[in-house]
Amino acid sequence: MKVFKKIVELQNELFYCRKENKTVGLVPTMGALHEGHASLVKRSVEENDVTVVSVFLNPTQFNDKGDLERYPRTLEADCQLLEDCGADYVFAPSVEEIYPEPDNRHYEFPPQSTVMEGAKRPGHFNGVCQVVSRLFYIVRPVRAYFGEKDWQQIAVIKRLVDFIGMKDVLEIVECPIVRDADGLAKSSRNMLLAADERSIAPRIFEVLSESVEYSMTHSVVETHDKVVADINAVDGLEVEYFEIVDGNTLLEVNTWEAYVVGCITVYCGKTPIRLIDHIKYRR
């Protein structure tokens, strides 16, 4: 496995891969890798001749500087995990390499980019689109792999791919959430949880799972209110938002349509750590 910090060096390497008609898969990450990331990398390795994993903590998608400062940085451990997973190349550039000058491009894809995380974190998805589009241009993959934990992000990225004219040459591959045995979705932020915070965090998915059966005999509003009340009843957990939405448009629904998803963000602990998850009610 090779590690590149410069765009031109990675592109030169990939030039020779393409010359040999090798397919290239991309797994974009911000580092602090875990089993969820590993599942994306392993799938890319299975489906492509060459796998590139980017490890870049993108500052433009953080609207909270404190959140950016707290985000774990574990490049050495990340590289070991990636080598074990069979990745071919790691792209770990500096901020200056990706943004030699301020990125003034503005992306907005309503309603997918303006609801939920888009409303709560102004500028977040614009920053995501800035860095992901740059990675697509640099790597030129045939497939890019994203975890369903960041479910809304996938919807936004699909809109981005269409907008930048890559829809016919780039497949966005959605990969299932990887969870710990107690149900907590794997996340780089989990390592920031204190032991007592980690012990209560699984209650989020437990409540969401219980609410699926509850929804079979109750309305959308009743299901929404029960989820919020049950999670807020746990000392140390506080719901920032919970929305039950159409799985395609991400707009709120009032009835149980054909494809309905519940999306939640919860503050855990005193710091607090912001955890996201979702559940599919109707498919």
Give the catalytic positions in this structure: 37
109 in Cβ contact with 152 (< 8 Å): no
**Does residue 34 have a known ligand-binding role?**
yes
**Does residue 33 have a known ligand-binding role?**
yes
**Does residue 36 have a known ligand-binding role?**
yes
**Does residue 42 have a known ligand-binding role?**
no
**Does residue 5 have a known ligand-binding role?**
no
**Does residue 150 have a known ligand-binding role?**
yes
**Does residue 30 have a known ligand-binding role?**
yes
**Does residue 188 have a known ligand-binding role?**
yes
| Cβ neighbourhood burial of 193 (10 Å; 0-12, 13-18, 19+) | buried
Cis peptide before 272, with omega less than 30 degrees from 0? yes
**Does residue 183 have a known ligand-binding role?**
no
**Does residue 32 have a known ligand-binding role?**
yes
Closest among 130, 121, 84 to 265, alpha carbons compared: 121
Which residue has 């209560």 as its token pair?
A: 200
Dist CA 104 CA 226 (whole Å): 42
Q: Which residues contact 208 (CB under 8 A, 6 or more apart)?
A: 227, 262, 264, 277, 278, 279
**Does residue 257 have a known ligand-binding role?**
no
Dist CA 137 CA 236 (whole Å): 42
Closest among 32, 14, 276 to 154, alpha carbons compared: 276
Q: Which residues are annotated as a binding site for (R)-pantoate?
A: 61, 153
Q: Which residues are annotated as a binding site?
A: 30-37, 61, 147-150, 153, 178, 186-189
Q: Which residues are annotated as a binding site for ATP?
A: 30-37, 147-150, 178, 186-189
Q: Which residues are annotated as a binding site for beta-alanine?
A: 61
